[in-house]
């Protein structure tokens, strides 16, 4: 009987270690494998609606998963450029965001759509990531730009407009 109890205990410990490892793995995916603030990213300049912007470039999966999460704000003409190697449908959410943003969907150098005033999880009263909306590109895109909320309206941006990015 003692041997069965010992086997059950060892099996329970192994299962708990596996579950703990799985939970840690999922947590690191959600946090792009970084602890604390995201390391600085390279920047490029872009002209959007005639206005010059400085965009941080998120080109790896880890950088893209992290995005602007956890930041307090963006500078006036700052943003983030998500670069993808091939056009495809893209899915974004506002996990751990602290400020509203506008999102621009791009294929090549043309705007194929945009979303304005995407709210923070707090504004949505989202108590978990399950409650967060997923924003889907209106077609295949190879670039996505996030800028401060209200910028698209100020710039008068339209579908079909050209965005020049100095990559």
Which tokens in the block code for residue 116? 């304005």
pLDDT at 20: 45
CATH code: domain 43-166 is: 2.60.120.1140
The arithmetic mean of pLDDT across residues 28-51, rounded, is 71
Band of pLDDT at residue 8, cut at 50, 70 and 90: low
Cβ(35)–Cβ(27) below 8 Å: no
**Helices of type H across 120-162:** 151-155
Q: Is the pLDDT of residue 135 over 50?
A: yes
The arithmetic mean of pLDDT across residues 84-113, rounded, is 96
Q: Which of 21-30, 44-53, 105-114 has the lowest mean pLDDT?
A: 21-30
CA angle 142, 82, 124 (to 5 degrees): 110
pLDDT at 29: 43
Band of pLDDT at residue 12, cut at 50, 70 and 90: low
Q: Where are the domains of the chain?
A: 1-30, 43-166
**Coil vs helix vs strand at 107:** strand
The arithmetic mean of pLDDT across residues 86-99, rounded, is 94
pLDDT at 147: 97
Alpha carbon of residue 132 to chain centroid? 13
């Amino acid at each position: 009987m003692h041997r069965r109890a010992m086997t059950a205990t060892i099996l329970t410990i192994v299962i708990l270690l596996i579950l703990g490892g799985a939970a840690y793995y999922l947590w690191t995916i959600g946090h792009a494998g970084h602890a604390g603030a995201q390391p600085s990213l390279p920047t490029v300049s872009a002209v959007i609606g005639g206005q010059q912007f400085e965009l941080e470039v998120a080109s790896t999966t880890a950088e893209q998963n992290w995005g602007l999460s956890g930041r307090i704000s963006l500078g006036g003409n700052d943003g983030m450029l998500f670069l993808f190697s091939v056009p495809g449908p893209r899915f974004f959410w506002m996990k751990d965001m602290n400020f509203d943003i506008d999102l621009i969907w791009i294929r090549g150098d043309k705007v194929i759509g945009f979303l304005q005033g995407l709210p923070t999880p707090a504004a949505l009263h989202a108590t978990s990531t399950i409650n967060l909306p997923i924003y889907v590109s209106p077609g295949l895109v190879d670039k996505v730009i996030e800028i401060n909320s209200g910028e698209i309206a100020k710039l008068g941006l339209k579908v079909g407009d050209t965005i020049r990015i100095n990559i």
